[in-house]
Structures are given as structure tokens and as C-alpha cells.
Structure 1
């Protein structure tokens, strides 16, 4: 075997692991991108919020009176409903 052939074979063997490593890195990056997109998505559908009471009216109350109420919030859409910003619940009138 000539020196030229030995040198060519040695270079070919040295390049093969780097090529395999680069290909593996690309595959890992692509998989991470796809999983991140699926995890942060809303399941492909559109979320829609429904509240059983639009307004809560207690009338005139004395100061210091504690009042409680329940609200049922449901997702009537076919996507995942997420609350991303604060305030999640806001008092529009009164205190």
C-alpha cells in the first residue's frame, strides 16, 4: 500500500467520528425543538373561557363585613386554557 493510500485512509477514519457527532447533534437539536413546541402549545385547539357568574352583586354592605363567593371557571374550548398575565382576577368596581 502506498503512502498516499495510507494517508487517505487515516484522514477518512478521523473525519468519520466528527461527521457522526455533528449528525447526532443536529438530531438532538431538532428533537429538542419539536418537544419544546409541543409542550408550550395549546394542544392544537382554541381555548375558550366560560364563567358561571358574570357579575357578583351584594348590594350595600357595612365596612368590615366579610363576604365570600364561588365562581366556576371552565374551559369550553378544545385547547389548553392558561392564565399567563397577572392580575388573574381583577375588581372592576368597588373595593
Structure 2
């Protein structure tokens, strides 16, 4: 009788392995689809075409900023977007500074 019980338990083990196989295959397929979708829908960078060749070129998105009347001691903030439009690296050798002209 022990041989019969061993035969039944082995068949159950084989059956359990076969029951898990479709689940594992489905999960692996879903993982592949998720990875493929991630790469398919990634935002691609636009190809860069330099405006200046042979040297760096600085381009700022705002040439002038009017902050209106500002009281002495009041803090104001403004932001600029600076881009290198040349085909060579843009390096600052000194800290950039902003010049404020009176009456501007």
C-alpha cells in the first residue's frame, strides 16, 4: 500500500508543477510586455543641430526683464534658461554675474 501512496503523491507533485507552468509563463509574458511598452513610449530627445559651429555660443531665453518698481531691501527673483547653441562645450571660467543698470 505504501507503493500506491507514493505513486499518488508523485502524480500530485507532477500535476502541481504543470498547474504552475501556465501561471509562470503568463507572468513572464506580462513582464516582457511591460518592458517593451516602457521602451516604446519613452520620450526621445530631439536631435541637436548647432546654430554655431567651431565654438560654443550662449543663448538666453530672456533678453530683458522688467520687475517694475522694487523697494530697497525687497528681494526679487527671476530665472533664465541658458543654452549652449554651439557644437563645442561651454565653460565658465568665472562665476557669472548680473549687471543692474540704474533706470532700467
Larger Rg belongs to: 2
